[in-house]
Amino acid sequence: MIASERMLSKLDLLVELTDKERTAVQALPFRISRQPAKADIVREGDWPSSSFIILEGFVATSKNTGEGARAITALHVPGDMPDLMSLHLPEMDCDVRAITNCVLAFVEHDQLRTLCREYPRLLHGLWKGTLIEAAVYRESVVNIGHRSALARLAHFFCEMMIRTNANQRKARAHFPLPLTQTDLADITGMSTVHVNRSLQSLRATNAISYDQGQVIIHRWEELLSMADFNPAYLHLPEEALTIGTDGHLKSLAPKGGA
Amino acid sequence: MIASERMLSKLDLLVELTDKERTAVQALPFRISRQPAKADIVREGDWPSSSFIILEGFVATSKNTGEGARAITALHVPGDMPDLMSLHLPEMDCDVRAITNCVLAFVEHDQLRTLCREYPRLLHGLWKGTLIEAAVYRESVVNIGHRSALARLAHFFCEMMIRTNANQRKARAHFPLPLTQTDLADITGMSTVHVNRSLQSLRATNAISYDQGQVIIHRWEELLSMADFNPAYLHLPEEALTIGTDGHLKSLAPKGGA
DNA sequence: CGTCGTATTGAAATCCTTCAATACGAGTGG
DNA sequence: CCACTCGTATTGAAGGATTTCAATACGACG
């Protein structure tokens, strides 16, 4: 996939674009870079002069605790720009690592700044993207701090189901999520042993399968309720929340108004 | 304190401003509103047409879990704009509540949008502010997910020490933090009983006192190490991290480079 | 064919929650 | 002024969720 296309389809979830704005994004000079699984892309303390958009693969932002444990603060999927914050925060406060093999497209900050200066709506879109990222963090704080191990995992799967499918035409009840149980532990703040056991309980409900890095959702409604999941915090347009039907998934419109 | 002054001193921590930009901020039409403790300021699901800056008091953003528990995702101090995200995310994904009595200054979104259009550097500053908020969430995810109860509390006190003092000339080792233990429980994701006990352990180290909503830090270095705290994620300028000396606090410059 | 990372399982230890009771101060109405 | 209530802080004890330690299994890879 071409970098500008990926960036445009992400921006389409955030703002309405004119042809002129699309052309401006297409004119951005991207530098494609392939990274193997586990590669450090950016490190805490770095002062990047460019940011990247993920074309393929999974990327995590993580921080190390004093005891040497690695905490994954967020998992990023194709279309995300995990280190966009460096456009305004000069020094990185977290590591950015490739979880799987991945393909990234880098753009110089200067290019992005020029783009933002000339096309305020694109700036608006990028800002909005970072605000949604913050909303995801907010939900993470709730998830990790206030839900049981089982619910935490279920919630994570729900979120990934939506986010990895957000720019597809047809969302599928079957999607790749090639994480180790150690990754899941670092994401959810639990031990690998307990991830293993909770995963077994989760499978035992028959709501979901998770093998070989492939998630298959069998009973979406049940998974939602186990996870206490409401997709509103993802701030996706209605279309992106209406899950297509390759399996037996229905719509995801939040229930009832404010 | 005048609203525009508060906003300017916050912005001064984020970007360098020209006199013209200062004047533009001073010209903003603020609407002052007093809120009693526990008042709902904005609710999940609302579509606000204005945002506010805190002049006095503490405000929390919170979400309710399915089991009816209230999770506080962030605590905001004077100078913060807790619902600024509504400028770009139309629907609120969390509640915003007054923790203490507080004084707020509301500005219409239209006014902010005009300001941003005419003064890109102010826009830059506001965006940067939201990015720092995201960085605080990142650290929260680490704190809640990967540290012990004692460290979690210690970390929270460290953060509040820095953030409440960031716009003072002279930081003090003594500052107000009028929270109930229930609030602390909702913030750190623990039970009130355990907050109570952890607080006692924390006091027993003689690093800190916390009574009557007043924090007194006796041994900053020790508190830092208990908390595994590094202020880099707050992205404050050097000056704001150099703690003055009313007690016996030293500088806070992060140790060693990347 | 040995090694390494990952998944799985058992058992013991511990952190933390829950339940339950008491204490204390502020505010309210008699 | 007293009795009453309510929110908050504190303590004890029991139970449960999760971690840690330790061992085994399994597949990928060189």
CATH number assigned to the domain comprising residue A32? 2.60.120.10
Judge if the beta carbon of A201 is closer than 7 A to nucleic acid strand D. no
Position B166 confidence tier, pLDDT thresholds 50, 70, 90 = confident
- Decide the pairing of beta strands B95-98 and B40-42: antiparallel
Tell which A residues from 219 to 258 touch B, by Cβ distance under 8 Å: 225, 228, 232-233, 235, 257-258
**pLDDT averaged over chain A?**
92
The pLDDT value recorded for residue A1 is: 63
Q: A120 and A202: one domain?
A: no
Q: B157 and B104: one domain?
A: no
User: Looking at B69, B99, B133, which one is the last position of a domain?
Assistant: B133
Flag whether residue B46 sits within 8 Å of chain A, measured between CB atoms: yes
Flag whether residue A24 sits within 8 Å of chain B, measured between CB atoms: no
Summarised one tens digit per residue, pLDDT across range A63-101 is 999 888 899 999 999 999 999 999 999 999 999 999 999
The pLDDT value recorded for residue A51 is: 98
Write phi, then psi, for A63 (nearest 5 degrees).
-135, 150
Instruction: Compute the distance between CA of residue B50 and CA of residue A127 in angstroms, rounded to an integer.
Output: 18
B chain contacts of residue A225, beta-carbon cutoff 8 Å: 66
- Decide the pairing of beta strands A95-98 and A102-108: unpaired
The pLDDT value recorded for residue A241 is: 76
Average pLDDT score over residue span A176-189? 96
pLDDT at B169 over 90: no
Domain tally for chain A?
2
Q: A48 and A118: one domain?
A: yes
Looking at this protein, which amino acid is placed at residue A190?
A: M
Smallest Cβ–Cβ distance between A137 and the set B65, B132, B141 belongs to B141
The pLDDT value recorded for residue A256 is: 42
Instruction: Compute the distance between CA of residue A119 and CA of residue A109 in angstroms, rounded to an integer.
Output: 15
pLDDT at B226 over 60: yes
SS3 call for B153? helix
- Residue B236: domain span: 148-241
Position B157 confidence tier, pLDDT thresholds 50, 70, 90 = very high
Q: A26 and A97: one domain?
A: yes
Instruction: Compute the distance between CA of residue A125 and CA of residue A228 in angstroms, rounded to an integer.
Output: 29
Q: Which range has highest mean pLDDT (A159-173, A226-240, B127-141)?
A: B127-141
Q: Do B88 and A128 touch (CB under 8 A)?
A: yes
Flag whether residue A194 sits within 8 Å of chain B, measured between CB atoms: no
The pLDDT value recorded for residue B151 is: 97
Partnered with residue B210 across adjacent β-strands are: B215
The pLDDT value recorded for residue A170 is: 66
In terms of residues, how long is chain B? Answer: 258
pLDDT at B68 over 90: no
Summarised one tens digit per residue, pLDDT across range B13-66 is 999 999 999 999 999 999 999 999 999 999 999 999 999 999 999 999 999 998
Q: B129 and B186: one domain?
A: no
Flag whether residue A133 sits within 8 Å of chain B, measured between CB atoms: yes
E strand or H helix that includes residue B175: strand B174-176
Smallest Cβ–Cβ distance between B147 and the set A65, A130, A257 belongs to A65
Strand order in the sheet with B214-217: B174-176, B214-217, B208-211
